[in-house]
């Protein structure tokens, strides 16, 4: 990989706050530019610990970790004996190192401290709690990047907060992008004239602007602060998880509208934890659960809960 100074890199180098959020479209050079900044920092400052994190190991291997190695080689800085491939960790001659791991390893979240954190593809992180575990163990700068395909915890918890920079980048900021790719990207503009899907795609991946949820079954919705007193509780819904969060929502009917309230959203829990939560919160209504987990449903049913498999559509 030939490393070039792009508009994206120049803009990111000007950010000075502790938390630096980079929202952007595809081919905007978000990740490449941030990694380049981190490599430069590691080389110039000794004994620094830099963590690059995303949602899963496969995602980080084919993304930021692969880009990082290519950048080092492009800079003629890569040394095989300084690269611990099994730990996905690269140590520089001055003692600084950059490590890569995923948030699906809970022990890493509550592990040792670091100087700099880079949350790559932040919208793949399970939730704000996982980010917070990392942030409170980070001494200095925190970088985040993502494609704005939908709203998530960064929008609610971080953007607009003190000591936080926010920038939007697009393919126009990547002046090293081959013309052939630019032309391929711009084909979507014509499709967007007659397709709501491509209109949203262009908004997110070309313009770096917030889009609507991809594949959402309820596109017309809004967030409310409280459940109205007149709302009638109908039932609960449950989606099983472990690495991915285990989710429980309550469903209300209010006038001509339905209200969904997320009451449980947590990773690394077992059925015993879920059953305890249901009992502690006196949830006795029917629970409609993911039918792909019949054993889990039966276990919770035998523990005294009114839980049934859902009937999935085709």
Best CA proximity match to 150, nearest among 215, 54, 247, 223: 215
Give tens-digit pLDDT for 224-236: 889 999 999 999 9
User: Is residue 227 a contact partner of residue 252, using CB atoms and an 8 Å limit?
Assistant: yes
Is a pLDDT exceeding 60 seen at residue 213?
A: no
Give tens-digit pLDDT for 161-186: 999 999 999 999 999 999 999 999 99
Per mean pLDDT, which range of 18-22, 105-109, 210-214 is the poorest? 210-214
Give strand ranges (E) for the chain. Answer: 19-24, 49-54, 83-84, 89-91, 97-102, 116-119, 142-146, 164-169, 232-239, 246-254, 257-266, 287-289, 307-309
Bridging pattern class, strands 116-119 and 142-146: parallel
Is a pLDDT exceeding 90 seen at residue 276?
A: yes
Predicted pLDDT of residue 218 = 67
Is a pLDDT exceeding 60 seen at residue 314?
A: no
Mean pLDDT rounded to a whole number for the chain: 92
Radius of gyration of the CA atoms of the chain, in A? 22
Predicted pLDDT of residue 75 = 93
Stretch(es) of the chain classified as CATH 3.30.420.280: 232-309
Q: Is the torsion defined by CA of 260, 263, 267, 269 positive or negative?
A: negative
Stretch(es) of the chain classified as CATH 3.40.50.300: 7-179
The span from the CA of 288 to the CA of 251, in Å, is 10
Other Cβ atoms within 10 Å of 117 Cβ, number: 22
Is a pLDDT exceeding 70 seen at residue 216?
A: no
Give tens-digit pLDDT for 72-118: 999 999 999 999 999 999 999 999 999 999 988 777 787 789 999 99
Give tens-digit pLDDT for 49-60: 999 999 989 999
The span from the CA of 38 to the CA of 53, in Å, is 13
Query: Burial letters for 85-98: b for 16+ Cβ neighbours within 10 Å, e otherwise?
Result: eeebebbbeeebbb
- pLDDT band at residue 4 under the 50/70/90 scheme: confident
Which option is the CATH number for 232-309: 3.40.50.10540, 3.30.420.280, 3.20.20.220, 3.30.420.10?
3.30.420.280
As a 3-state breakdown, the chain gives helix, strand, coil percent values, each rounded to 5, of: 35, 25, 40
The span from the CA of 36 to the CA of 75, in Å, is 10
Question: Which DSSP symbol is given to 50?
Answer: E
Bridging pattern class, strands 164-169 and 142-146: unpaired
> What is the architecture of the domain spanning 7-179?
3-Layer(aba) Sandwich (3.40)
């Amino acid at each position: 990989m030939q490393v070039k100074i792009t508009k994206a890199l120049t803009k990111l180098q000007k950010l000075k706050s502790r938390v630096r959020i980079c929202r952007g479209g595809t081919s905007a050079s978000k990740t490449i530019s941030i990694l380049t900044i981190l490599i430069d920092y590691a080389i110039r400052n000794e004994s620094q610990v830099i963590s690059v994190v995303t949602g899963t190991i496969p995602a980080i291997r084919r993304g930021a970790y692969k880009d990082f190695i290519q950048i080092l080689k492009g800079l003629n800085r890569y040394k095989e004996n300084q690269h611990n491939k099994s730990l996905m960790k690269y140590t520089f001659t001055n003692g600084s190192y950059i490590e890569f791991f995923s948030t699906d390893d809970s022990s890493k979240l509550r592990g040792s401290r670091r100087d700099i954190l880079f949350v790559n593809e932040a919208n793949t992180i399970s939730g704000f709690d996982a980010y917070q575990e990392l942030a409170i163990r980070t001494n200095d700068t925190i970088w985040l990047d993502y494609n704005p395909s939908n709203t998530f915890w960064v929008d609610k918890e971080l953007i607009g907060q003190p000591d936080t920079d926010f920038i939007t980048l697009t393919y126009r900021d990547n002046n090293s992008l081959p013309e052939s790719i630019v032309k391929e990207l711009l084909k979507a503009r014509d499709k967007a004239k007659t397709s709501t899907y491509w209109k949203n795609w262009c908004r997110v991946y070309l313009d770096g602007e917030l889009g609507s949820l991809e594949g959402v079954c309820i596109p017309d919705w809004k967030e409310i602060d409280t459940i109205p007193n007149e709302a009638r509780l109908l039932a609960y819904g449950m989606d099983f998880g472990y690495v991915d969060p285990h989710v429980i929502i309550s469903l209300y009917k209010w006038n001509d509208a339905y209200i969904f309230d997320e009451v449980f959203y947590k990773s690394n829990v077992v059925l015993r934890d879920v059953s305890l939560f249901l009992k502690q919160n006196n949830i006795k209504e029917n629970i409609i659960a993911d039918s792909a987990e019949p054993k889990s449903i039966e276990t919770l049913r035998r523990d005294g809960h009114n839980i049934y498999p859902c009937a999935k559509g085709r």
